[in-house]
């Protein structure tokens, strides 16, 4: 499809016109030093113009061929984004259609602490169940002092599954009509690690504006725990809580 974006037009101009401009300068220099354009019965300006046109016409197929060679030799892009684990020992992404989201009642959820209406805070209820309810407006919030560094949420599967990958929001990814952006106002994840059947995985950092973390797992397991190692502070003046809106797990079907 024809790309008429300003960046594309600028890039094309640089790629096509610049070499021709250089050739025009070379033609002008040859006229001064050798007089070749004069012997061809053309003036300096006409010689430079002809050289520029010929240069552009000759450069175009060379440029197209070079672009194809570069794209053919370039490595394929990693389709994982965010904090996906791109280490060489991780398996390649599953073929479309083979990876399915794990749903209830395939697992039970638990967490290190949770805000409930009966907790000492007497705040709104934010149980860990809210991280897996499929509702982007509800969130799990821990119930410890501070931002809850070290808090965890865990899924225990009814039977071991081949976990393909996980994805979770790194904070309260919701905009409240009164309070505004709850992600910035609450604490959110700065680094986390996975524990798969008790085996501790490598800690992964999360950028301050990354609202979702994704990771390839590629293991058969009966239990998956996400442990929040570090957090970014929220901007709420009083209450500071870590929140996760949604956590999703995909499994590979046999």
Per CB under 5 A, residues contacting Ca ion are 130, 133, 135, 138, 246
Token reading at 81: 């984004």
Nearest-angstrom CA–CA distance, 191 and 26: 57
Minimum Å gap between C-beta 249 and Ca ion is 14
- Shortest Cβ contact with Ca ion: which residue? 138
Q: Indicate the residue among 131 and 194 with the shorter CB distance to Ca ion.
A: 131
Minimum Å gap between C-beta 137 and Ca ion is 7
Q: Indicate the residue among 130 and 183 with the shorter CB distance to Ca ion.
A: 130
Nearest-angstrom CA–CA distance, 226 and 243: 13
Minimum Å gap between C-beta 91 and Ca ion is 29
Token reading at 98: 């083979």
Minimum Å gap between C-beta 130 and Ca ion is 5
Q: Indicate the residue among 114 and 218 with the shorter CB distance to Ca ion.
A: 114
118-138-132-148 Cα dihedral, nearest 10 degrees: -60
Nearest-angstrom CA–CA distance, 231 and 243: 10
Minimum Å gap between C-beta 188 and Ca ion is 15
Q: For 114, phi and psi rounded to 5 degrees?
A: -155, 150
CA angle 38, 43, 48 (to 5 degrees): 105
Nearest-angstrom CA–CA distance, 126 and 128: 7
- Contact yes or no for 27/47 (Cβ under 8 A): yes
Closest of 62, 73, 72, 69 to residue 15, by C-alpha: 62
DSSP state of 127: -
Q: Indicate the residue among 96 and 105 with the shorter CB distance to Ca ion.
A: 105
Q: Indicate the residue among 68 and 103 with the shorter CB distance to Ca ion.
A: 103
Closest of 199, 111, 123 to residue 155, by C-alpha: 111
Minimum Å gap between C-beta 5 and Ca ion is 38
Q: Indicate the residue among 85 and 214 with the shorter CB distance to Ca ion.
A: 214
Q: Indicate the residue among 224 and 252 with the shorter CB distance to Ca ion.
A: 224
Q: The dihedral of CA 181, 187, 192, 195: what is its sign?
A: negative
Minimum Å gap between C-beta 246 and Ca ion is 5
């Amino acid at each position: 499809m024809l790309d008429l974006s300003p960046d594309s037009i600028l890039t094309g101009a640089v790629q096509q016109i610049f070499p021709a401009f250089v050739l025009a300068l070379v033609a002008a220099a040859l006229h001064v030093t050798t007089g070749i354009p004069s012997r061809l019965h053309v003036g300096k300006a006409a010689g430079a113009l002809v050289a520029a046109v010929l240069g552009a016409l000759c450069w175009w197929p060379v440029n197209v061929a070079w672009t194809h060679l570069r794209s053919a030799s370039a490595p394929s892009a990693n389709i994982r984004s965010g904090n996906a684990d791109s280490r060489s020992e991780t398996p390649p992404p599953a073929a479309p259609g083979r990876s399915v989201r794990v749903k209830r009642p395939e697992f039970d959820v638990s967490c290190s602490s949770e805000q409930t209406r009966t907790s000492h805070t007497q705040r709104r209820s934010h149980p860990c169940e809210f991280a897996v309810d499929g509702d982007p407006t509800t969130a799990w919030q821990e119930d410890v002092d501070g931002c809850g560094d070290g808090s965890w949420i865990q899924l225990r599967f009814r039977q071991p599954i081949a976990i393909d990958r996980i994805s979770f929001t790194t904070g309260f990814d919701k905009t409240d009509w009164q309070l505004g952006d709850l992600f910035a106002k609450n604490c959110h994840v700065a680094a986390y690690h996975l524990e798969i059947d008790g085996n501790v995985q490598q800690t992964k950092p999360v950028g301050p504006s990354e609202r979702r973390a994704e990771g390839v797992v590629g293991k058969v397991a009966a239990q998956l725990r996400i442990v929040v190692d570090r957090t970014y502070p929220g901007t709420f003046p009083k209450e500071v809580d870590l929140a996760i809106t949604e956590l999703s797990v995909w499994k590979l079907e046999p």
